[in-house]
């Protein structure tokens, strides 16, 4: 009996020690108690409080790509941040009254959700049109949730200890797998912070820039791109230093990058430099109407590597910045945004042009988008086969609003004026000769033969 009691006591002690080493298991057993219902109620209150604060604080004109608020109230960064803060305060307040069970799992879940939301919202704000961002978001989400499960299960310290034992030498310094992984995580956190800060600065710089003209927009764009590049470089250096990698090893990396630029990356480097040159000298600005390589459209954005040109039909061309500097670019908005358009109309022979031409000029000038200076003009262009060809030219000051619509309005005004004056728009006229056949052809031939032979019939 004494041996059995001693064995039971030893088994109980081992169980207690294991339970102490795995608090998550204790919390899992505590979930079956009645106190867990009170914790669930408090957790629901924390989530409801966070939702209410976000709903009340969200401005009416918040953009859909907002990092803090997101598309709705709960898919931004602010909701999980407030929920996590409220859960931490609630756990601190309840730990003296109740055994913590629900919050033992809720806090890591909310923290993981906050990390994922920060990464997702910042990446989408920094790279809104990148398809690879979605793949990166899913990968990051899996890593965060797996890390949370390992931490709650108590397996993360064991995994970190095994990673600490794997070491190698890099640049004369001993680097372990754990320090490398932590360095990658630190680098990701720093780069996310740099992207977040640069996105915020860019949105502040570009907000209201249209009120000051396209020149101001280009200057603010180059400032935003420069700030982003500077923050990314500084953040990368800080992340490498935090990972324990000596910055002296960057000399080797810099030499390799220099060789790469000299061998195969000169085009990429030239595009980046050309982007800053374009923004600095303001030869091309956002909103300009240009024609490059037989593609005509309006510049919608200038990035550090490429320029986006959108055609009136909706097609977009991504043109490398080097091409914008080395090839011929027709800029219809460089010195003056006014643009000349024309159309052609034909009137019948015999029309009173002394009356028609002034009335057509007056009708074209009354079209809303046609500017008075330079004034529209109607000229007699040529004498056509069917009528008189009139050449109508006019100017607009807002080509970004379309050209086909204003040309249609001018044509309608010309048609109304010609109808009022009773001027005919001629149809094509052709003279047709009928070739005789059968008996008629024989009679015609008999009649022509004497004439052709020089014999006059009697």
At 29, the pLDDT band (50, 70, 90 cuts) reads low
H or E stretch at 341: strand 339-347
- pLDDT computed for residue 282 by the predictor: 75
Residue 319 DSSP SS3: strand
Average pLDDT over residues 156-164: 81
Q: Are residues 21 and 141 in the same domain?
A: yes
Per-residue pLDDT at 116 exceeds 60: yes
pLDDT of the residue at 357: 92
Q: Which CATH number belongs to the domain containing residue 270 in this structure?
A: 2.30.30.60
The pLDDT of residue 6 is 39
pTM of the entire predicted model: 0.47
- Whether 448 shows a pLDDT value over 70: the answer reads no
Q: What is the structure's pLDDT at 208? A: 57
Task: Determine the pLDDT at residue 414.
Answer: 93
The rounded distance, in Å, linking the Cα atoms of 271 and 268 is 5
The pLDDT value recorded for residue 359 is 92
**pLDDT at residue number 3:** 42
Q: Are residues 89 and 110 in the same domain?
A: yes
Does residue 305 contact residue 268 with C-beta atoms inside 8 Å? yes
The whole-angstrom separation of Cα 59 and Cα 32 is 42
Q: What is the pLDDT of residue 258?
A: 63
Tens of pLDDT, residues 389-436:
999 999 988 877 778 888 999 999 999 999 998 888 888 767 777 776
DSSP SS3 for 173: strand
Say if residue 20's pLDDT is above 80: no
Residue 196 has pLDDT above 80, yes or no: no
Number of domains in the chain: 3
Percentage, residues of the chain above pLDDT 90: 8
Q: Look at residues 215, 211, 220 and name the one whose alpha carbon lies nearest to residue 334.
A: 215
* pLDDT computed for residue 97 by the predictor: 78
Q: What is the mean pLDDT of the chain?
A: 75
Query: How many whole angstroms separate alpha carbon 265 and alpha carbon 87?
Result: 50
Residues 18 and 157 in one domain: yes
pLDDT at 9 over 60: no
- pLDDT tens profile 60-82: 767 666 777 777 767 778 888 88
Q: What DSSP assignment string belongs to 379-447?
A: EEEEE-SSSEEEEEEEEES-GGG-SHHHHHHHHHHHHHHHHHHT---PPP-----PPP-THHHHHHHHH
Whether residue 56 has pLDDT greater than 90: no
**Confidence band (pLDDT; 50, 70, 90) for 248?**
low
- State how far the Cα of 71 lies from the Cα of 50, in Å rounded to an integer: 16
For the four alpha carbons of 218, 220, 224 and 230, in that order, the dihedral sign comes to: positive
Out of 85-89, 270-274, 328-332, 335-339, least confident range: 335-339
Closest to 68 measured CA to CA, from 199, 194, 185: 199
Last residue of a domain, one of 165, 197, 222: 165
Asked if residue 11 has pLDDT above 60, the reply is no
* Confidence check: pLDDT of 12 > 60: no
Q: Is the pLDDT of residue 444 over 90?
A: no
Range of the domain at 351: 339-421
Please answer whether residues 426 and 347 qualify as being in contact, where contact means their C-beta atoms are separated by less than 8 angstroms.
Answer: yes
Whether the pLDDT of residue 441 is over 60: the answer is no
pLDDT, one tens digit per residue, over 138-157 is: 787 888 888 888 877 778 77
Q: Are residues 49 and 27 part of one domain?
A: yes
Give the closest residue to 301 by CA, choosing from 314, 312, 310: 310
pLDDT at position 17 is: 43
C-beta neighbour count of 134 within 10 angstroms: 12
Q: Please, are residues 27 and 101 in contact by the beta-carbon 8 Å criterion? A: yes
Last residue of a domain, one of 331, 351, 372: 331
pLDDT (tens digit per residue) in 217-244? 666 666 777 777 777 777 777 766 665 5
Please tell me the distance from the alpha carbon of residue 451 to that of residue 401, in angstroms, as a whole number.
70
pLDDT bin (cut points 50, 70, 90) of residue 211 is: low
Percent of the chain exceeding pLDDT 70 equals 72
Instruction: In whole angstroms, give the CA distance from residue 417 to residue 165.
Output: 90
- Judgement on whether residues 312 and 408 belong to the same structural domain of the protein: no
- 351 plus 283 within the same structural domain: no
Contact predicate 322/329, CB 8 Å: no
Q: Is residue 219 domain-resident?
A: no
Q: Which two tokens stand for residue 158?
A: 């064991």
At CA 88, angle to CA 86 and CA 93, rounded to 5? 95
Question: Judging by DSSP bridges, how do beta strands 339-347 and 306-310 pair with one another?
Answer: unpaired
Same domain, 356 and 287: no
Q: How is residue 41 written in tokens?
A: 């109620």
Whether the CB-CB separation of 342 and 330 falls below 8 Å is answered with: no
* Distance of alpha carbon 220 from alpha carbon 227, whole angstroms: 10
Is the residue at 29 inside a domain? yes
Please tell me whether residues 311 and 347 are part of one structural domain. Answer: no
pLDDT of residue 416: 92
The reply to whether 306 and 262 lie within a common domain is: yes
Residue 448 domain-assigned (yes or no): no
Distance, CA of 82 to CA of 114 (rounded, Å): 10
Q: Is 182 within the bounds of a domain? A: no
Q: Per DSSP, which regions of 12-83 are E strands?
A: none
- Say yes or no: 119 and 140 in one domain: yes
Residues 128 and 265 in one domain: no
Q: What is the pLDDT of residues 295-310, one digit of tens each?
A: 888 888 888 788 899 8
pLDDT tier at 15 (50, 70, 90 boundaries)?
very low
How far CA 447 is from CA of 1, 435, 436, 441, 442, in Å, comes to 150, 15, 13, 10, 8
Residue whose token pair is 């009416």: 60
DSSP assignments along 263-298, one per residue: HT-HHHHHHHHHHHHHHHHTSS-TT-EEEETTEEEE
Same structural domain, 15 and 159: yes
Mapped onto helix, strand or coil, the DSSP state of residue 261 is helix
Reported as type and span, the H/E element at residue 114 is: helix 102-126
Number of residues that make up the chain: 458
């Amino acid at each position: 009996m004494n041996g059995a009691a001693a064995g039971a006591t030893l088994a109980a002690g081992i169980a207690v020690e294991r339970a102490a080493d795995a608090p998550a298991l204790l919390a899992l057993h505590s979930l079956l108690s009645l106190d867990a219902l009170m914790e669930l109620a408090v957790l629901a209150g924390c989530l409801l409080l966070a939702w209410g604060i976000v709903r009340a604080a969200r401005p009416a004109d918040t953009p859909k790509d907002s990092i803090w608020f997101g598309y709705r109230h709960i898919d931004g960064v602010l909701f999980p941040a407030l929920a996590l803060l409220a859960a931490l305060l609630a756990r601190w307040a309840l730990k003296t009254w109740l055994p913590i069970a629900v919050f033992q799992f809720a806090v890591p879940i909310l923290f993981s959700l906050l990390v994922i939301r920060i990464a997702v919202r910042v990446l989408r704000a920094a790279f809104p049109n990148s398809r690879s961002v979605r793949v990166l978001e899913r990968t990051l989400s899996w890593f965060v949730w797996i890390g949370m499960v390992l931490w709650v299960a108590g397996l993360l310290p064991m995994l970190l200890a095994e990673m600490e034992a794997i070491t190698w030498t890099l640049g004369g310094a001993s680097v372990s797998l754990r320090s490398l992984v932590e360095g990658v995580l630190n680098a990701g956190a720093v780069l996310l912070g740099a992207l977040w800060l640069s996105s915020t600065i860019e949105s502040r710089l570009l907000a209201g820039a249209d009120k000051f003209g396209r020149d101001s927009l280009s200057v603010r764009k180059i400032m935003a791109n420069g700030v982003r590049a500077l923050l990314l470089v500084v953040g990368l250096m800080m992340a490498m230093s935090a990972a324990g990698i000596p910055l002296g090893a960057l000399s080797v990396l810099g030499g390799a990058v220099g060789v790469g630029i000299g061998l195969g990356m000169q085009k990429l480097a030239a595009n980046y430099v050309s982007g800053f040159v374009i923004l600095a000298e303001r030869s091309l600005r956002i909103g300009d109407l240009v024609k490059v390589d037989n593609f005509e459209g309006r510049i919608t954005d200038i990035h550090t590597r490429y320029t986006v040109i959108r055609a009136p039909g909706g097609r977009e061309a991504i043109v490398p910045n080097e091409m914008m500097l080395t090839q011929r670019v027709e800029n219809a908005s460089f010195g003056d945004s006014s643009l000349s358009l024309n159309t052609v109309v034909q009137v019948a022979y015999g029309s009173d042009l002394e009356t028609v031409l002034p009335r057509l000029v007056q009708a074209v000038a009354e079209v809303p988008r046609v500017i008075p200076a330079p004034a529209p003009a109607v000229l007699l262009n040529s004498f056509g086969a069917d009528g008189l060809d009139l050449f109508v030219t006019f100017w607009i000051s807002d080509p970004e609003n379309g050209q086909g619509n204003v040309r249609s309005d001018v044509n309608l005004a010309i048609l109304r004026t010609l109808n009022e004056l009773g001027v005919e728009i001629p149809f094509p006229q052709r003279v047709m000769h009928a070739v005789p056949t059968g008996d008629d052809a024989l009679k015609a031939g008999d009649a022509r033969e004497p004439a052709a032979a020089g014999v006059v019939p009697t």
